[in-house]
Amino acid sequence: MDLIDTGNLETIVFTSIFGIFGIYHLLSFLVLKHKVLFYYFIVILGLTLHWSLYFFIGGAFGDAISKIADKASLSTAMITTLGLLLFTKNYLDINGNDHPKLSKTYKVFISLVASLPLFHITNNLIFGIGWLNDSFVLLAALLAMLSIFLNIFSGFQLFRKHQLNRYYLYSYTPILLAALLYTGTWFLKRGFDFDAGTIVLITSILVTLQLILFSLLISFKFKAIEYEAMKIQLDANTMLQSEVDRQTKKLQLAKGVLEDQNKELEKVNQLKNKLFSLLTHDVRAPLNNFIVIIELIQAELADSELKAVTEQLKSEIADKISMVNGLLQWSYKQLDGMTVDKKVCDLEQVFGTIANEFERLANDKGVTLELQISHAKLLIDENMLNVILRNLISNAIKFSPSGQKIVLWSKRSGGYIDVGVKDFGVGMNTDWFEDLEKDGRPQTRKGTKGEKGTGFGLLIAKDFVAMNGGELICESEVDKGTNFFLRFTIAALDQTPNPIVLDATQERG
């Protein structure tokens, strides 16, 4: 048995070539995960198996092996045909949405090609019907040729869809010639006995050339995919840049609008400052002058009834001055920014100065001021402390009946320092103060002699205490009096008394 004759040598060479192509494209599929590589591997697998059958069909290994190899040739041919159908469908991007009829045709052909080997094997193993076996063989040859023509037709049909489709059609010539030669020789061999070695050699060369062309096509395919992906990325980057530019322009416009609004707000704020300056110089000063004039007139009057009228007039003017002072203090706090300049204050000195200021008003009301100082030092802005105490003492006098006393007190208890003003007057419902703590609007009440208030005093006191790091607390019972006190932590005394600047936005936050 001479295995290394010319025919076997050709079989070994071309089977090896096909095998190397198959292994390369299988590995490429495993790395790149692209279906077109797997379908191309199926084509090469079918060709490799089909060409390897020539070792056995010649009878070198016995007639039984030769018959099995002959029957297996239908399956290997159908594997090749199936691979070509799947490869072409994927490469030309034939799908049901864009090409519904062509896609259905491919599905029919793929189903027939895939099922035919199963029927053929079943017949040989179970039924053994000779004419049915011949019918399957003829049908397989017909399906192989029709599949090749279907692939060529698809190439023509989709010729202009993509440049790669043109390359596919151009490169299909070798396999078409090989199929015609191979199938024609196969049919002739069924009726005539002749040596087909030369034709098989030519067919092998054409198939090898076809495999090379298809490999080049796949490389072009991947380059095209890479180019399209890059183009998509560039388009996306262009769109993104365009969107960024558009949003940037919108932000610039919005910035311009905000700058214009800020300029307008600055103008409004300047106008507000001028308005309160007018209140200071053109309203408060004349009102103070009115009180002086009324007191001079009272000194010259002997009529008690006229004195009562002037006294009422003086009281009303004093109320208006108090309202203007409250408004000025409140507006001062609400301006663009104010300085909180903390320092260690001597509470004995501060309390004494405040008590002297309110001595005449307290005497007129018949109320005494009493100092109870058990802790004399506090780190706070002294100007703000004066404003807070003035407001609290003014309210205490206003709501205390004649004969009562008002206590200015301070003490250190636990971890806190408390500074307060306590009266024994009409008291108040603490719901009003709790609403004030929630930034409620100030309400007005009348004092024990009908004195009017604006409600701004407590609001100013509350905010000034908060700006100095403390808390304003109210303890009160109706008809038993009220105790307002400022509570600060002991740690406040350990701080270095450096100036602290807060603007209005920080304070509100």
Q: How far apart are the first and last CA of the chain?
A: 102
Q: What is the pLDDT of residue 350?
A: 92
* Structure token digits, residue 135: 């019918």
Which residue in the block uniquely carries the two structure tokens 């037709």? 153
Structural Rg of the chain based on CA atoms: 53
User: What is the C-alpha to C-alpha distance for residues 415 and 490, in angstroms, rounded to an integer?
Assistant: 5
User: What is the C-alpha to C-alpha distance for residues 326 and 395, in angstroms, rounded to an integer?
Assistant: 12
Rounded to a whole number, what is the largest CA-CA distance in the chain?
160
More confident residue, 90 or 275: 90
Q: In the chain, what percentage of residues exceed pLDDT 70?
A: 77
Position 498 pLDDT exceeds 50? no
Q: What is the mean pLDDT of residues 159-177?
A: 72
Cα atoms in the Cβ-side hemisphere of radius 13 Å centred on 211: 27
In this predicted model, what pLDDT tens digit does every residue of 60-87 receive, in sequence order? 677 778 888 888 888 988 998 998 899 8
Q: What is the pLDDT of residue 449?
A: 64
Q: Do 174 and 145 form a contact (C-beta atoms < 8 A)?
A: no
User: What is the C-alpha to C-alpha distance for residues 223 and 228, in angstroms, rounded to an integer?
Assistant: 9
Those residues whose C-beta lies under 8 Å from the C-beta of residue 33, and which sit 6 or more positions away, are none
* Structure token digits, residue 429: 């419902």
- Write the Ramachandran bin of 455: left for phi over 0, alpha for psi from -120 to 50, otherwise beta: left
- Write the Ramachandran bin of 128: left for phi over 0, alpha for psi from -120 to 50, otherwise beta: left
Position 163 pLDDT exceeds 80? no
Q: What is the pLDDT of residue 116?
A: 92
Position 44 pLDDT exceeds 60? yes
Q: What is the mean pLDDT of residues 222-240?
A: 77
Position 212 pLDDT exceeds 90? no
Strand partners, 476: 482
Helix crossing, 173-191 with 197-278: angle to 10°? 150
Q: What is the pLDDT of residue 419?
A: 96
Average pLDDT of every residue of the chain: 78
User: What is the C-alpha to C-alpha distance for residues 104 and 91, in angstroms, rounded to an integer?
Assistant: 16
Which residue in the block uniquely carries the two structure tokens 């070792």? 55
In this predicted model, what pLDDT tens digit does every residue of 424-450 receive, in sequence order? 988 887 776 666 655 545 555 666 665
| C-alpha torsion angle, residues 434, 435, 440, 446 (rounded to 10) | -90
Q: What is the pLDDT of residue 389?
A: 92
In this predicted model, what pLDDT tens digit does every residue of 248-277 receive, in sequence order? 888 888 888 888 888 878 776 666 665 665
More confident residue, 322 or 138: 138
Position 134 pLDDT exceeds 50? yes
* Structure token digits, residue 480: 């038993």
Position 508 pLDDT exceeds 50? no
Q: What is the pLDDT of residue 421?
A: 95
More confident residue, 233 or 187: 233
More confident residue, 412 or 335: 412
Query: Helices in 58-172 by DSSP H: which ranges?
Result: 63-91, 100-122, 130-157, 163-170
Among the listed residues 77, 86, 110, the one whose alpha carbon sits nearest the alpha carbon of residue 35: 86
CA–CA distance from 495 to each of 131, 460, 464, 470, 507 (Å)?
111, 24, 18, 14, 20
User: What is the C-alpha to C-alpha distance for residues 336 and 192, in angstroms, rounded to an integer?
Assistant: 111
3-state helix, strand, coil split of the chain in percent (to 5) is: 70, 10, 20
Q: Do 124 and 137 form a contact (C-beta atoms < 8 A)?
A: no
Position 497 pLDDT exceeds 60? no
Position 503 pLDDT exceeds 50? no
Domains of the chain: 6-240 (1.20.1070), 337-508 (3.30.565.10)
In this predicted model, what pLDDT tens digit does every residue of 95-106 receive, in sequence order? 888 889 999 999
